[in-house]
């Protein structure tokens, strides 16, 4: 049913992203394939054909990652650069992803208030997502508005329990979305 491209450079030390993936994997009758690309490709040497085959097996693709510098972790950007090729994802014959659901699912370190014109992040989260949105359109995929939550930074004072609870709520929303895509 759904392909989960997990792009966390070190999922073992993650709190939020790890909880989300665990919740997905615990869920009964949810048919997902999780690909932990940072672990699979520690030297960034992506197996393009294998990743393209994985995409072809599914109708929905979820990108699960932490927001890094207002964008994707490099391993996920590399995955797009390598896998979304001309005449596969775009171009005159590049319609292999046409109609598939494109679902960004990420976690943001600082607060919602910080992501406003008067906050220290200056822009709203969705303003930072346009590159991803247009990547979906250029590949003829159905862009689904991102699922995300704020406050995963322990340094900023959020507690482990808070983060885990928010991650569980996030996972619940994602599961609901995946069931509705089914």
Helix 160-181 with 16-26: angle, nearest 10 deg: 40
Taking the least distance from each CB to its own copies, the nearer of 18 and 77 is 77
Handedness of CA 68, 72, 76, 79 (dihedral sign): negative
Residue placing its CB nearer to its own copies in the complex, 74 or 144 = 74
Asked whether the beta carbons of 177 and 144 are under 8 A apart, the reply is yes
CB of 50: closest distance to its own copies in angstroms? 18
Q: How far is the CB of 53 from its own copies (least distance, A)?
A: 21
Residue numbers of the site for its own copies (CB under 8 A)?
Answer: 9, 43-45, 68-75, 77-78, 80-81, 84, 86, 120-123, 127-128, 130-131, 134-135, 137-138, 155
Residue 71 or 111 having the CB closest to its own copies: 71
Q: How far is the CB of 65 from its own copies (least distance, A)?
A: 12
Q: What is the nearest approach in angstroms of its own copies to the Cβ of residue 70?
A: 4
Tokens 């690909």 sit on residue: 35
Cα 92 from Cα 20, distance rounded (Å) = 37
Q: Nearer Cβ to its own copies, position 24 or 79?
A: 79
Which helix or strand (DSSP H or E) is residue 131 part of?
Answer: helix 130-138
Rounded distance, CA 11 to CA 2, Å?
20
Quote the least distance from Cβ 9 to its own copies, whole Å.
Answer: 8
C-beta closer to its own copies: residue 28 or 130: 130
């Amino acid at each position: 049913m759904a392909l989960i491209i997990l792009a966390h450079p070190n999922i073992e030390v993650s709190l939020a992203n790890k909880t989300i993936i665990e919740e997905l994997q615990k869920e009964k009758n949810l048919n997902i394939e999780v690909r932990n690309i940072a672990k699979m490709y520690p030297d960034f040497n992506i197996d393009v054909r294998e990743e393209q085959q994985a995409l072809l097996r599914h109708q929905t693709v979820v990108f699960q990652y932490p927001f890094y510098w207002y964008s994707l972790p490099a391993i996920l950007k590399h995955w797009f650069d390598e896998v979304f090729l001309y005449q596969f994802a775009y171009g005159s014959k590049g319609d292999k992803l046409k109609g598939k659901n494109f679902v960004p699912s990420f976690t943001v370190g600082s607060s919602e208030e910080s992501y406003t014109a008067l906050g220290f992040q200056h822009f709203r989260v969705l303003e930072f997502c346009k590159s991803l949105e247009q990547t979906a359109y250029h590949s003829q995929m159905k862009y689904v508005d991102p699922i995300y939550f704020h406050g995963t930074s322990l340094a900023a004072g959020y507690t482990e329990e808070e983060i885990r609870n928010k991650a569980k709520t996030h996972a619940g929303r994602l599961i609901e979305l995946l069931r509705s895509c089914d």
